[in-house]
Amino acid sequence: MKYFERVFLFLVFLALPLEVWAADSYRWLRVTIETPWAIFIFLLPMVLIPIVLMAILYWRYAGRPTGANDIELKKKDSETLT
């Protein structure tokens, strides 16, 4: 059944005029004075979100010990418990 649906859709698409597929026509490529602002507003979150996330994560984990300090702290903790 799916085969017949695909064939039917293919024939319907063949019957449509080629202008339907012209997504690159002038009406889609209008450039106005607002275009640079729209691009800027679209790209701004893509740049700022990773920077803000990086700052938040850095701030959150800044006070935590890392690497060799972890091992030393665990040794100190185990010594104080015994």
Write out pLDDT tens, residues 14-50. 776 666 556 555 666 677 888 888 889 999 999 999 9
pTM above 0.85? no
Distances (CA, A) of 26 to 21, 29, 31, 42, 50: 13, 5, 10, 22, 35
What are the residue ranges of helices labelled H in the chain? 2-15, 35-61, 68-81
- pLDDT of 4 above 80: yes
Residue 81 lies in a domain: no
Local confidence band at 3 (pLDDT 50, 70, 90 cut-offs): confident
Question: How many domains does the chain divide into?
Answer: 1
For the record, the structure tokens of 57 come out as 């994560």
Residue 36 lies in a domain: yes
Q: Biggest alpha carbon distance in the chain? A: 84
The whole domain housing 13 covers 2-63
Compute the distance between CA of residue 25 and CA of residue 14 in angstroms, rounded to an integer.
20
